[in-house]
Amino acid sequence: MSNVLQQLQEWYLANCNGDWEHTYGVTIETLDNPGWALTVDLEDTRLMDAPFEKVHIQRDDEDDWIICRKDGFKFRCDGGPHNLEEIVNVFLNWARSNNEKAT
């Protein structure tokens, strides 16, 4: 398993408290353009009030892009078909910068 997925698992587990995981969580889905979508529920986590500056990167290859934003109490990040690891890393780096366990 990749280090990035292990770190995401650790973040998820650190927020499971017997209550949070029954209502909130992490979702990874595919997009039809094609690409990936990562959604992380921030409600009742230390990140829910943390600021996040939108990230928008479009590279030369039309399939190489990411758009990440905080939408209310949700972290949302979409990316091209080869950008799943990158979008998860954007979340993990932000979580770490806000002293959240992500290792």
85 domain residue, yes or no: yes
65 domain residue, yes or no: no
The reported pLDDT for the residue numbered 103 is: 45
Question: Structural domain tally of the chain?
Answer: 1
Domain holding 36, by residue range, is 3-58+71-97
66 domain residue, yes or no: no
19 domain residue, yes or no: yes
27 domain residue, yes or no: yes
39 domain residue, yes or no: yes
pLDDT < 70: residue spans in the chain? 1, 100-103
**CA–CA–CA angle 55, 3, 11 (5° rounding):** 65
The reported pLDDT for the residue numbered 1 is: 53
102 domain residue, yes or no: no
Q: What is the spatial distance between Cα 7 and Cα 24, in angstroms, rounded to a whole number?
A: 18
